[in-house]
């Protein structure tokens, strides 16, 4: 630099001129005092080499989500964007991700009215939508959603539940004016595979024999669940919702059940022949009575059907098999006993139950031990 008096060249760090002795005036910029944004206006922060702006969204006084926009070159640019980010949340053009909208779905009254078992199914279905979590919900397209559904493991039901969750997400986005009203129709147009026959189909004696042979050979848990449902009449959802502390192979009883008042917390008999099956799968239980999540469950179910050569029916057919084979034992086994085992309830059987009184566990065990399906 040059001396301010004699104009001689001196080092930049000089305090006094080495030629004339004149004290040099500092040219360093005064430190900039950082200011704090007023409460409720948002905040900015540095991430790597760029700055980001963030606002918090509240509904009815409760925190819902954070909205963040990054990539600003300077702190000032990020601060200047905060009003626009706030406007997006207060009636302007909104932009929500799929995960943010699903958060709103879970806070809705309709979601709270869904049974815990059904919510569990939906949460499992939502996990299958993970590739969409950070996508702007308004940018979703029919073809990509159809491809996503087609790629989900399993047959009809896993895909149906995923479509249901997509419908709930997009419907909420429409209500929040994030998506146009016709977006809901896009989800309704998504195609599902044909619904497999279930309630009208029961396993043949040959198919049950093949399942027993597979169990004796492989001891595959999925084959064990097929046998348990066929002899207890339990639903697939009941396996996943089962409290394992209420499974007692020694007393040959499972206390559980879902759906109807008659089906909940009922005593489900464990037939003599499947006591070893229950004892084998019980230590592996992670999701209720099942060793793996629903996605893997349906994948293994399909593989079991292929391996044994039986029809590729949904696992609900095992429950129908139990119901059908018990009815073949009438009148040795009464309708009221069958419905007590299955957890069915209607006006006729309710009246019968009143006349019979409580159906004992020993009576139920006698009924399921009459089943000849080996």
Determine contact, residues 220/214, Cβ cutoff 8 Å. yes
Instruction: Read off the pLDDT of residues 309-354 as tens digits, 9 standing for 90 and up.
Output: 999 888 888 998 998 888 888 778 888 888 888 886 654 444 444 4
On the question of pLDDT at 60 being above 50, the answer is no
Instruction: Return all residues near 302 (Cβ < 8 A) that are at least 6 apart.
Output: 154, 155, 312
**pLDDT at position 280, please?**
96
Q: How confident is the model at residue 152 (pLDDT cuts 50, 70, 90)?
A: confident
Q: H or E segment at 256?
A: strand 253-256
Least confident of 25-34, 101-110, 115-124, 276-285: 25-34
Please tell me the distance from the alpha carbon of residue 34 to that of residue 238, in angstroms, as a whole number. Answer: 59
pLDDT(247) > 90: yes
User: Cα dihedral sign for 7, 10, 11, 13?
Assistant: negative
- CA angle, 144 as apex, 138 and 148 as ends, to 5°? 115
Average pLDDT in the 124-137 region? 88
| pLDDT-based confidence at residue 198 (cuts at 50, 70, 90) | very low
On the question of pLDDT at 85 being above 80, the answer is no
pLDDT of residue 14: 76
Which carries the bigger pLDDT value, residue 155 or residue 123? 123
The whole-angstrom separation of Cα 100 and Cα 105 is 9
Average pLDDT over residues 274-302: 93
Distance from the first to the final alpha carbon of the chain: 100
- The whole-angstrom separation of Cα 286 and Cα 291 is 5
Helix extents (H) in the chain: 75-89, 98-107, 109-113, 116-127, 142-150, 156-175, 183-188, 205-218, 221-232, 236-241, 275-281, 294-308, 316-327, 335-342, 347-356, 361-368
Edge-to-edge strands, sheet with 50-59: 43-47, 50-59, 62-72
* Cα–Cα distances in angstroms (integers) from residue 9 to residues 1, 18, 110, in the given order: 6, 9, 79
Contacts of 30 (CB under 8 A, 6+ apart): none
Distances (CA, A) of 106 to 76, 134, 228, 327, 363: 37, 17, 34, 42, 43
- Give pLDDT tens digits for 350-364: 444 444 346 888 999
When pLDDT is cut at 50, 70 and 90, the band that residue 102 belongs to is very high
Which tokens is 102 given?
């699903």
What mean pLDDT comes out for the span 4-32? 72
Residue 87's pLDDT is what? 58
- pLDDT grade, residue 261 (50/70/90)? low
Residue 139 scores a pLDDT above 50: yes
Per the omega criterion (within 30 degrees of 0), is the bond before 181 cis?
Answer: no
- Asked if the model's pLDDT at residue 374 lies above 50, the reply is yes
As a dihedral over the C-alpha atoms of residue 304, residue 307, residue 309, residue 310, rounded to 10 degrees, the angle is -10
Higher pLDDT, 67 or 319: 319
Task: Give the CA-trace dihedral at 113, 114, 119, 122, to 10 degrees.
Answer: -120
Q: What is the pTM of this model?
A: 0.52
Whether the CA torsion 123, 124, 128, 130 is positive or negative: it is positive
pLDDT at 272 over 50: yes
Arithmetic mean of pLDDT, 184-205: 78
Q: 238 forms bridges with which residues in the sheet?
A: none
């Amino acid at each position: 630099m040059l001396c301010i008096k004699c104009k001689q060249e001196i080092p930049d760090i000089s305090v006094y001129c080495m030629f004339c002795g004149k004290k040099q005036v500092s040219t360093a910029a005064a430190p900039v005092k950082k200011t704090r944004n007023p409460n409720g206006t948002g905040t900015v922060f540095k991430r790597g080499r760029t700055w980001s702006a963030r606002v918090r969204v509240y509904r009815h006084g409760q925190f819902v989500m954070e909205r963040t926009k990054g990539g600003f070159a300077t702190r000032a640019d990020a601060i200047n964007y905060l009003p626009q980010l706030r406007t997006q949340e207060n009636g302007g053009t909104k932009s929500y991700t799929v995960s943010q909208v699903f958060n709103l779905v879970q806070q809705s009254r309709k979601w709270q009215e869904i049974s815990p078992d059904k919510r569990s199914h939906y949460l499992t279905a939502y996990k299958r939508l993970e590739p969409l979590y950070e996508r702007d919900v308004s940018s979703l397209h029919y073809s990509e959603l159809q491809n996503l559904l087609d790629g989900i493991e399993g047959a009809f039901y896993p895909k149906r539940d995923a479509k249901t969750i997509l419908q709930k997400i997009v419907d909420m986005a429409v209500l929040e004016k994030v998506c146009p009203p016709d977006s809901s129709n896009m989800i309704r147009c998504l195609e599902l595979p044909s619904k497999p026959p279930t309630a009208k189909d029961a396993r043949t004696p040959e198919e049950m024999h093949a399942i027993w042979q597979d169990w004796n050979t492989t001891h595959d848990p999925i084959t064990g669940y097929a046998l348990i449902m066929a002899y207890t009449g339990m639903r697939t959802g009941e396996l996943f919702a089962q409290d394992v502390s209420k499974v007692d192979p020694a007393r040959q009883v499972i206390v559980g059940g879902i759906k109807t008042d008659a089906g909940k917390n009922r005593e489900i008999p464990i037939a003599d022949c499947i006591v070893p099956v229950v004892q084998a799968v019980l230590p592996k239980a992670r999701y209720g009575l099942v060793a793996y999540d629903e996605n893997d469950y349906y994948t293994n179910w399909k593989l079991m059907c292929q391996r044994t050569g039986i029809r590729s029916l949904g696992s609900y057919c095992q429950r129908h098999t139990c119901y059908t084979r018990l009815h073949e034992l009438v009148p040795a086994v009464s309708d009221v006993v069958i419905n007590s085992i299955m957890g069915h309830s209607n006006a006729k059987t309710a009246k019968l139950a009143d006349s019979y009184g409580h159906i004992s566990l020993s009576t139920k065990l006698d009924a399921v031990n009459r089943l000849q399906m080996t």
